[in-house]
């Protein structure tokens, strides 16, 4: 009680304030990624974000200055994990095992965060206008490193003579596809909806198809 009175207010309930802020921001972002991925940037309204977050519209604006700010925060969040799976691709590893780990992790992470995956795919589909130069640069560097690992394997005769860049595009396209275009995949597999086992099958089939 005493701590909350006086001129130190701002600092005094800093903990509480921080907790509330963290919780509300997290809720807003969680709801937003789902809505943006399902309806796009313009199809998503702040009213709807507020409603599904259980907050009045003005409170959403209290935490995020604009709708664009929410979108950009989400881009940054997705981006942080973009290269997580690529860490498996290292020259000293066995190519077969490294690729298997990479494909499985990529499929698993897009399955677990389907909304996030679709959100990012939507952004790239529209040309990636919200990506900063920094972020583009980072993607490029990470890809280049992975390509170097593959080139190393090729030079040792442990990998087929493919262009690593096209190879990664192929793997990336395929793994993303299962989560991003789930309805099409489900229809093709003739199941009502995708289960974890379908993703496991996908991983096996992809690795089998490229016959490493």
Partner DNA sequence: GTCTATAAGCTGATAGAC
Partner DNA sequence: GTCTATCAGCTTATAGAC
Cα 18 to its chain centre, rounded Å, is 26
Q: What own/partner pairs with CB < 8 Å and gap ≥ 24 does 87-92 have?
A: 89/145, 89/146, 89/149, 89/150, 90/149, 91/148, 91/149, 91/152, 91/153
- Kindly state the number of chain residues that form the binding site for DNA, as judged by CB under 7 A: 20
Q: Which does 206 bind (CB under 5 to 8 A by kind): DNA, a copy of itself, none?
A: a copy of itself
Closest CB to a copy of itself among residues 35, 55: 35
Interatomic CA distance for residues 95 and 153, integer angstroms: 7
Residues 73-132 that bind a copy of itself (CB under 8 A): 118, 121-122, 124-128
Say if residues 72 and 130 touch (Cβ distance below 8 Å): yes
Residues in the chain: 212
Interface characters, 57-76, with DNA (x: CB under 7 A): xxx-xx--xxxx--------
Closest CB to a copy of itself among residues 7, 183: 183
CA angle 144, 165, 207 (to 5 degrees): 115
Interatomic CA distance for residues 35 and 49, integer angstroms: 8
Contact flag: residue 5 with a copy of itself (CB under 8 A): no
Structure tokens that stand for 155 in this block: 């030079």
- Smallest distance from a copy of itself to CB 142, Å: 10
Say if residues 148 and 156 touch (Cβ distance below 8 Å): no
Interatomic CA distance for residues 162 and 144, integer angstroms: 15
Which residue in the set 39, 56, 82, 96 belongs to the binding site for DNA (CB under 7 A)? 56
Q: Which does 165 bind (CB under 5 to 8 A by kind): DNA, a copy of itself, none?
A: a copy of itself
> Which residues contact residue 48 at a Cβ distance below 8 angstroms, ignoring those fewer than 6 apart?
35
Interface characters, 40-69, with a copy of itself (x: CB under 8 A): xxxx--------------------------
Chain residues binding DNA by CB under 7 A are 17-18, 20-21, 24, 44-47, 55-59, 61-62, 65-68
Chain residues binding a copy of itself by CB under 8 A are 38-43, 118, 121-122, 124-128, 136, 139-140, 143, 160, 162-163, 165-170, 172-174, 176-178, 180-181, 183-185, 187-190, 201-202, 205-206, 208-211
């Amino acid at each position: 009680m005493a701590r909350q009175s006086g001129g130190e207010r701002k600092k005094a309930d800093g903990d509480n304030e921080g907790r509330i802020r963290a919780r509300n921001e997290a809720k807003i972002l969680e709801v937003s990624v789902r809505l943006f991925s399902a309806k796009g940037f313009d199809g998503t309204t702040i009213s709807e974000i507020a409603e599904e977050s259980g907050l009045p519209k003005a409170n959403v604006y209290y935490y995020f200055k604009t709708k664009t700010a929410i979108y950009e925060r989400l881009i940054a969040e997705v981006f942080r994990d973009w290269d997580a799976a690529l860490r498996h691709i290292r020259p000293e590893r066995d190519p077969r095992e490294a690729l298997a780990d990479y494909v499985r992790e990529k499929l698993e992470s897009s399955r677990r965060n389907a909304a996030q995956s679709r959100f990012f795919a939507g952004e790239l589909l529209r040309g990636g206008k919200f990506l900063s130069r920094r972020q583009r640069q980072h993607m490029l560097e990470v890809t280049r490193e992975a390509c170097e690992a593959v080139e190393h394997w090729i030079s040792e005769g442990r990998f087929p003579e493919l262009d690593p860049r096209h190879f990664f595009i192929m793997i990336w396209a395929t793994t993303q596809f299962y989560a991003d275009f789930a309805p099409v995949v489900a229809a093709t597999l003739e199941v009502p909806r995708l289960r974890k086992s379908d993703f496991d099958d996908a991983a096996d089939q992809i690795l089998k198809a490229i016959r490493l």
